[in-house]
Every structure is written in C-alpha cells, then in structure tokens.
Amino acid sequence: MRYKFRGKALEECKQKGIKKGDWVKGHLYVDSQNRYFIVLPMDSRYFIFEFPLGMIEVIPETVGQWTGFLDENGEEIYEGDILRWKYAGMEEEFFFVEDIFSVYREKVKYAKRHIDDWHLPSIAKVIGNKWDNVDLLKGGNHDN
C-alpha cells in the first residue's frame, strides 16, 4: 500500500489553485516546528531540489491517512470519513473511519469493527467526513 494523506489547506496557494480550507492529498511531511505539510504528488519530483514549491501547509487536526480501501464508487477512504452502508435490505447505517483499522457504527455507542468486516469498503459509499459534515454524526460518541 502506498502511504497517502490528506488535510485541509491552512492558507491559500494561488500558484497551485488551492484555497484556504481545500482538501489536498499527497505525502505527509512534519517539520521541526511541528507544522504539517502535504507534498503534492505531481510535485514530488521537486522534493529534494525545490522543497517548498510542492508543499501545502495543512491544519494538523484534519490530517488523515488513506486506509488503502476504495468505496463502491472507487473513491479513496481516509481516516475521518463517514460512510453509508446498505446491504441485503438492512437499513442504512453510518460509519465513521476512526483510524486506518476501524470504523464505528453510528447507531450503537462505542461499537467498533475492523474496516474490512463485511467487505465494508466494497458496499459502502463515502458521504462526507467528520470536519465538513458534523451533522451526519449527531447522537454518537466517537471519542473512544
């Protein structure tokens, strides 16, 4: 699996066409001052020679690692994503990807399952994330 991360841009980068708050994906770099950056994949070739040009500083709390899974539409599933799952006539449930290994069932407090239980990624759809779609997480406790 390739290690890939995403995070929300801390500031606008007109040169790259990125606005403050946009999601950026790529490699993660944390500098000596504990600032988080995403190194954009298309600029990785400049990593050694023109280090700052391919980097976007991101909000640390929004950084999430790609789980290595794709949803039913082929969209990458990252830490912090919210998934909708419907299978064999069962009612829809929301799942919150807490880390790269587990998900929480929204309707059952503290229930935790491995992300590939029930072949979840292949029958789930990313419908948002915990930063942009807080309303989807109402009523659940996802701190544990």
pLDDT digits (tens, 9 = 90+) for 87-107: 666 656 677 777 766 666 665
Mean pLDDT for 64-88 is: 86
Contact between 26 and 14 under an 8 Å Cβ cutoff? The reply is: no
Cβ neighbours around 100 below 10 Å, total: 17
How far, in Å, CA of 106 to CA of 137, rounded?
Answer: 7
When pLDDT is cut at 50, 70 and 90, the band that residue 134 belongs to is confident
How far, in Å, CA of 108 to CA of 95, rounded?
Answer: 10
Q: Are residues 26 and 15 in the same domain?
A: yes
Q: Are residues 72 and 57 in the same domain?
A: no
Q: Are residues 50 and 72 in the same domain?
A: no
Most confident among 1-5, 57-61, 81-85, 133-137 (mean pLDDT)? 57-61
Tally of domains within the chain = 2
pTM, 2 dp = 0.77
Residue 51 DSSP symbol:
G
Q: Let me know if residue 97 belongs to a domain.
A: yes
* Residue range(s) defining the domain that contains residue 44: 5-62
Answer with the residue of higher pLDDT: 86 or 133: 133
How far, in Å, CA of 13 to CA of 140, rounded?
Answer: 36
